[in-house]
Structure formats: C-alpha cells, structure tokens
Amino acid sequence: MIDIQYNNDSHYGIHDPAVRATLAAYSSLLFLSSVIGDLLILVGSIKYHAIKLHPIIVTFIQYLALMDIAVAITRFLPGAVSLITESWVFGHVFCYVTYSVVVSSGGTAVLLISAICLAKLLIVRFPFRAALVPVYFAHIASLFFFLVSSTGIVVEIVTNSKLVTFSYIDYNCDYNSINGHFSRSSITCNILVGLIGFTATTVTAVSSGLLLRTVRNISARGGEIKWQGVMTVLLTAAVYLVATLPGTVYFMGSHFVLGSAALHKFWHVDLYRVAVYTVYLNMVSNFYIYTLTLTSFREFLRFRVGQGLVECFSRNYPGTGASDGERRRLLP
C-alpha cells in the first residue's frame, strides 16, 4: 500500500491557520472563476460566436478553456479542500489522476498560448494566406500538443507511480523527488516538461514582440489593424509571462542554491509555493482579458447572460423584477 500521506508536514506544511484559510479561499475563488469563466467562453464562442477573431485562434481559445477547466477541477478544488483538512482525502487513484491531468493539461495550455501568439503574428503578416488555412489544422495542432504533454507523464506514472505523493508544499499531489531518487523515466519526464515550458515561453515572448513591432509598422504606413484581436493576444502573452516568472526564477536557480538550511527552505518551499500559486493566475485570466478587449464578448455577457439572469430572477421573485416595459427598454 502506498502511503500518499507523505510525512512532511513538520518541514513543509503551513502551520498558520490564517495563511491556510487565505490560500483555501484563494484556491476556491480561482476554481469558481475558472470554471464559470471558461464555460462562458466555450458557450459564447461555440453557440453565439461571441469571440470574433480568426477561426484558428478561436479554436485554440476553446481548447485552452477546456484545459483550464481540467486544471481547475483537478488542482484548485482538491488544493482548497486539502488546505482546510490539512490532508489528502480523495484517495490513491485520484492522487495519480490529478497529477497526470495537471501536467498534461497544463503543458497543453502553455503550448496553446504560444500557438495563439504565433498564429496571430502569421495572420497579421500574411492575411491572405491565413484565410486559406483550414480550421481543422488548429484541431490537429491542439491534439498534438496534448499528446506531447501527456507522453512523459504517462510513462512516469506507469513506471514510478509510488513517487507520486501528497505534498504539504502546495497541498496537492506531486512528484516526490525530495529523497533524491530520480529514475531514468523521471529524468526523461522532467526534460520533456522543461522543453515544453522553454519552448512555449520563448515562442510566446518572441511572437508577441514581433507582433507588436509588425502592427506598429503597419499602422505607421497607414494600414488597417484590428486592434481588439492584437490586444487580446498581447495581454494573454503578458499575463502568461508575468505569471510564470517566479517559476522560471525558481527552476533556473534551483541547482545553484546551496548553503544554509534557511536558504534551502526559502528557495524550495517558500519560493516554490509562490511560483505555484502565481502561475494559477494564468488559468483564470482569459475570461477577464476577453471581457476587457473584445466588444463582441462583452455584448454576449450583457445581452445573453445578463438577460438570462434578469429573466430568471424575475421569474423567481416577480415582485422585485423590472416591469415588462422597463425590460424591453433596457434589454434588446
């Protein structure tokens, strides 16, 4: 029997109830925001065509929303419960499932963000050629991203599932390398994850930089730029790069942190915890970015979602709702 209650509470646990409560509330807020926001993105883009961008970018956005929902269900919610109970209560199998889904979905998500940035750059630079690219290309690319992100973790879980344990560092199931044991498959998995992160970050940063320079040149020549799409992509890239910055610093410096136990604890516990909870922001930001930058998405929220909420509230509380004349005046 595998003991997933890894006995590291005294060394790595959060012993301040106020801090645990704050992080539990933060994780719960992230869970609700991600699930509700990404479901609205999916419904709005599929049923109401509320995201009026290039079809390839819209397809990438839809897959990104699915990945974010998967991470929210398998990371944010269990993390909030574990912070409250100070233990893992979901059983052995779900421990492996959560770790596998988070790594595969998270890797797919960062690759999708880089694909969105690169696709927008190519669309702006080659608009006529971009119009000829079929949408199924985005479906194939998204499936390829998921397969690449899942390959390493599947091998790791099959060969070294005993090393996936509950960790008090981030109050979730994670790969336990604290004891210094690294198998060949775990090294392969770590290299794959590192390559995915490095590739996604590099492509995102370079593509967004070139996109910004390209639109400035086109605008200076008097060309027409669809700024809503450009700002959507640039903000998505900016949030991703900022949210992953603590994690980048952590992983780049991990092999060079030597010396006192206090420094070791700060780097591998406190900074790692900050990196984990910061990167979560990247999973919930898309809804707010689209609300800010896309008029069509705001109209969907106002007239479709808002109208539905008003009608639902009026049916349940008829005495407090607006009159029929007021609703006809305020809502289309």
Give the DSSP letter string of 244-311: THHHHHHHHHGGG--S-HHHHHIIIIIIHHHHHHHHTHHHHHHHHHHHHH-HHHHHIIIIIIHHHHHH
The band of 222, judged by pLDDT with boundaries at 50, 70 and 90, is confident
Q: What average pLDDT score do residues 30-42 get?
A: 96
Q: pLDDT > 90: what percent of the chain?
A: 52
Question: Which amino acid would we find at residue 132?
Answer: L
The answer to whether residue 175 scores a pLDDT higher than 80 is: no
The answer to whether residue 45 scores a pLDDT higher than 80 is: yes
Out of 10-24, 234-248, 256-270, 278-292, pick the least confident. 256-270
Q: What average pLDDT score do residues 23-45 get?
A: 96
Among residues 172, 158, 13, the alpha carbon closest in space to that of 81 is found at 172
Q: pLDDT > 70: what percent of the chain?
A: 83
Confidence (pLDDT) at 184 = 47
Q: How far apart are CA 245 and CA 84, in angstroms?
A: 28
Enumerate residues 6+ apart whose C-beta is below 8 A from 27.
76, 77, 79, 80, 83, 280
Q: How far apart are CA 305 and CA 309, in angstroms?
A: 6
Confidence (pLDDT) at 42 = 97
Q: What is the pTM of this model?
A: 0.87
Residue 174 β-bridge partners: 165
Question: Which amino acid would we find at residue 263?
Answer: L
Quick: pLDDT tens for 151-165: 866 666 666 666 788
- pLDDT: which is higher, 271 or 310: 271
Q: How far apart are CA 309 and CA 31, in angstroms?
A: 21
